[in-house]
């Protein structure tokens, strides 16, 4: 298991963004947790609106996507590792 391309999920597979990392270091740490847990996931770069009105520049973030049946396990592993900031709301 491990990282796969977004196209690596079979057609019709339901996927969920489990984490949104705002920095390269955070994304690398999240990858490490998901790899260590044996989860299959894909990463997609996403544009976030900037905080300032004058700059007009978007920030990039890394969205981590897993199959719906892996959300609880992967989110739990990330939570135990202290990655809470970009964790999906499981409520």
For the chain, domains (ranges, CATH) are 6-80 (3.30.70)
* Number of Cβ within a 10 Å radius of residue 46: 14
Q: What is the pLDDT along the chain (91 residues), one digit of tens a residue?
A: 799 999 999 999 999 999 999 999 999 999 999 999 999 999 999 887 766 666 666 788 999 999 999 999 999 999 999 999 999 887 6
pTM summary value: 0.87
């Amino acid at each position: 298991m491990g990282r796969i391309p977004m196209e690596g999920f079979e057609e019709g597979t339901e996927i969920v963004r489990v984490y949104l990392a705002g920095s390269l270091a955070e994304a690398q740490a999240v990858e490490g947790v998901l790899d260590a847990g044996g989860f299959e996931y894909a990463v997609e770069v996403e544009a976030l609106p900037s905080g300032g009105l004058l700059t007009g520049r978007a920030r990039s973030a890394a969205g981590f996507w897993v199959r719906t049946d892996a959300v609880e396990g992967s989110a739990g592993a990330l939570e135990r590792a202290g990655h809470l900031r970009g964790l999906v709301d499981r409520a």
